[in-house]
Amino acid sequence: MLKYGRMKDDKKKTVFVAMSGGVDSSVAAALLKKRGFTVIGAHMKCYNVDGCAAGDAEDARRVAEQLGIPFYVFDFEDEYKKRVVDYMIDGYKKGITPNPDVMCNKEIKFGLFLEKAVSLGADYIATGHYVRLRNSYIRKPFVLRSLYSAKDKNKDQSYFLWTLTQNQLEYCLFPIGEYTKPRVRALAKKFGLLTAAKKDSQGVCFLGQISLEQFLKQYIKKKPGNILNLEGKIVGRHRGVQHYTIGQRRLGIPNMALGEKGTHETTPHYIVAKDIKKNTITIAPAGDKSLYQKEIILTNLNFINPFHFPLSAFHILVRVRYRQPLVAATLTSNIKLRISNLVFDKPQAYIASGQSAVFYNARERNLPARLAEAPAKRAGRQMLGGGIIVER
């Protein structure tokens, strides 16, 4: 049974800030210190392939020194390997497309880090995520906590936080959700932080400069097979089904080789299906109806606010990939089977099993009066929760 949180005593202001060594978490720490919190910097030592994490740890330490705050390093390397890296490897071995960023947030940042910080006396933890947290009273002093998209739509990270719960959010602060990225960099410069001009990290965080393909080939042996068109004709060869994902385009086959001789085919082709048992990949030309799905099945559903769990058909907006525009859909759940059906208003392309489908409120006015908060234009779009896409 969910225990609704209470508003915290304003006198309790000790916050552990997860400092990655980047500009976002550096500014988060600086803002909280300016607001009067007792700020403690903490860097998470996690699994890292190319050794670049050592430089990030040093940057985090130096920023903490600039801010005059205590600094600790939490060693989560073994746990990260088991809970995030192995999860990703196992997913690719099964032929799905896992999302390590979601798992990192669930298991490490808002799992191990939160537990460690609270055990050391933290009243809150804070991260450099671009997302907004809002509180609404059920009956004072009891509150419900909700997540909203960030002010900077290009940096919004609410998609990766759909697994969070009321119990976790009771301890969370997201100081930079109200700022745009340029404003964050300007604040870093104003505070004199050495990370002000540091470039953002790209791709899977623990890989550094190592490509995903280079990393996976250490764990998944190459097993060449056939690439087929929709008619079943062999049009090329692949290096192993597990190394590809639905919607992928670059397959090493010139477009002209996909058409009949003399037709000079130029239409890009994308992966539409993978068959692990037969070791084949099927591709389809852009725009083909086989690339689109009207309905998908989800599992592992989580709703941040329990009031939103769909006991009947529920109209929402959804993302099935990070940065994809929100699309309208209807969600229905089978509680006994612990699965849900998501039916899109319009068929969607390039949907990969293993990825996250993340739900957002379709219309802010649909919220019950007791949950109504700041207007959408001020608070952003409310993120309701999400689930994992399973095989079609």
* Catalytic (active-site) positions: 104, 205
In a 10 Å sphere around its CB, with 0-12 CB exposed, 13-18 middle and 19+ buried, how is residue 28 labelled? buried
In a 10 Å sphere around its CB, with 0-12 CB exposed, 13-18 middle and 19+ buried, how is residue 70 labelled? exposed
Written as one string, the DSSP assignment of 154-180 is TT--GGGGTT--HHHHTTEE-TTTTS-
Could you tell me which residues are beta bridge partners of residue 334? 339
Long-range contacts of 111-115 (CB under 8 A, 24+ apart): 111/83, 112/74, 112/76, 112/79, 113/16, 113/18, 113/42, 113/44, 113/74, 113/76, 114/168, 114/171
Provide the token pair at 345: 């208003």
In order of 37, 78, 149, the CA distances from 327 in angstroms are 39, 38, 15
Q: Taking a C-beta distance cutoff of 8 angstroms, is the pair 110, 44 a contact?
A: no
